[in-house]
Amino acid sequence: MSRAARVGLICVSIAIFCYAGIGHVLGRTPDDKAYKSLTVFGEVLQKIQQDYVDEPNMHTVTAGSLHGLLESLDTQSSYLTPREYDEYKKKIQSTSTGDSGITLSKRFGYIIVISVLPDSAGVKAGIHSGDIFESIGGFTTRDMSVGQAMNLLTGPAGSGVKVAVIRRGKATPDEVDVVREKLTTAKITSQKADPDILALRLTSLDPGRAEEVRGRLLEAEKQGIHNVILDLRECGRGPVSEAISVARLFVPSGTLATLRGQTVSSQTFSAEPKQVVWKGRVSVLIDATTSGAAEVLASAIAANHRGDVVGERTFGLASEQKLITLDDGSALILTTANYYNPSGKAILEEGVTPTEVVHANVEDDSEVEDAAPDTTPNKELQQGPRPLSPEDPIYRKALELVKAPVKKAA
């Protein structure tokens, strides 16, 4: 062990023990568990430094432990090293930064694709929901946080990043080049499934989406339409505030969602009768590609019995993150609050369960000899945007429900 390494270890250990000891004496720690955790951490560092088979790089060891610490909390919390955070700041401050349009999460140790925005760089590269990223930019994703993955996928518009993608039924990854682009606001697509049924497909809940939906609903009412279908599949972006605004267009009364966290004041979002513009029937389409704000919208419709929610359980990502900078130049992306449905269940943990469970068609991979094990959280994760057609079982069921005669109260 070199003299410099010993000095570094001593300094780290002294800092940890002093912080723990002073905090314990002054009552800063909530209980003895915090004090014990810090002392154990210091002891582990010391044992690694002294007894590991080779002399370890303690910067790497410390960074790895912090990555693991954040990932043990939830999939969206991340640690960024000083270098990674410096890159992150430059990217968000640059007007020329491009994006992939891909929404990611992590399950069973792998970075997976939840949804992909239409006409985005991800779609053009052939990325589909349910794909597993084995590596991004040459870095394995096995020990990579979602924050790190998203940081690697953003960069100057027009630049490319290589991604190794494992697709359903394949054991070996395909290497694709994702050419980053400036994102444009995804448009609402609409079609008349029937003279009396309007289907609206929302692939994002960007700011201003609620006002756009409001306009579509008012126009539908003028046309004598009485039934609306909201397709929230592949919808994984946008603030929850926009989801609340859309829900208020449909729900006349009741609680829509609640936001709670250890240091976040509890906030309850309620329906506002004066904002309701649609009193006709409504059905919502969801599946495992529905995440974030879209889950809050679907949950509000279902919990208040405002309409049928058809499809499969959503992914479970409705939460709020906060960026916290540290003295050494690193940063935390930390989940500070979760959204809860009106019955008090955390959407992050439970997802949204449809009122009418319908499974989408899944390709038969039984004949693929070298098929990779299915590591996705939901075996029904589908690849790519679905056309709104009667061949789509989820859409077909929604059509049946809105066409069914209204049941009269007993």
pLDDT in tens, 1-38: 444 444 444 444 444 444 444 444 444 445 566 666 66
Last residue of a domain, one of 179, 204, 226: 179
- In a domain, residue 64? The reply is no
pLDDT at 142: 84
- In a domain, residue 149? The reply is yes
Domain shared by 211 and 351, yes or no? yes
pLDDT at 137: 94
pLDDT at 33: 61
- In a domain, residue 63? The reply is no
Residue 403 has pLDDT above 70, yes or no: yes
Domain shared by 173 and 297, yes or no? no
- In a domain, residue 316? The reply is yes
Distance, CA of 35 to CA of 20 (rounded, Å): 5
| 174-179/160-166 β-pairing | antiparallel
Residue with tokens 């970075």: 111
Residue 328: count other Cβ atoms within 10 Å of its Cβ. 9
Domain shared by 252 and 170, yes or no? no
Kindly state the DSSP code that residue 91 receives in the 8-state scheme. H
Query: Do residues 229 and 193 lie in contact, with contact meaning Cβ atoms separated by under 8 Å?
Result: yes
- In a domain, residue 66? The reply is no
Last residue of a domain, one of 153, 179, 205: 179
- The per-residue pLDDT for range 73-130, each reduced to its tens digit, is 888 999 998 999 999 999 989 889 999 999 999 887 889 999 999 999 999 999 999 9
Residue 171: count other Cβ atoms within 10 Å of its Cβ. 11
Distance, CA of 261 to CA of 119 (rounded, Å): 36
pLDDT at 386: 53
- In a domain, residue 46? The reply is yes
Domain shared by 251 and 172, yes or no? no
- In a domain, residue 408? The reply is no
Domain shared by 163 and 294, yes or no? no
How large is the greatest C-alpha to C-alpha distance in the chain, in angstroms?
Answer: 84
pLDDT at 146: 92
Better-predicted residue by pLDDT, 153 or 380: 153
| 197-201/227-231 β-pairing | parallel
What domain range is 161 assigned to? 82-179
Q: Which range scores top for mean pLDDT: 66-70, 130-134, 388-392?
A: 130-134
| CATH code of the domain covering residue 353 | 3.90.226.10
Show the tokens assigned to 24. Answer: 């314990």
Domain shared by 161 and 233, yes or no? no
Which of 283, 408, 406, 296 minimizes the C-alpha distance to 347? 296
Domain shared by 100 and 146, yes or no? yes
The number of folded domains in the chain is 3
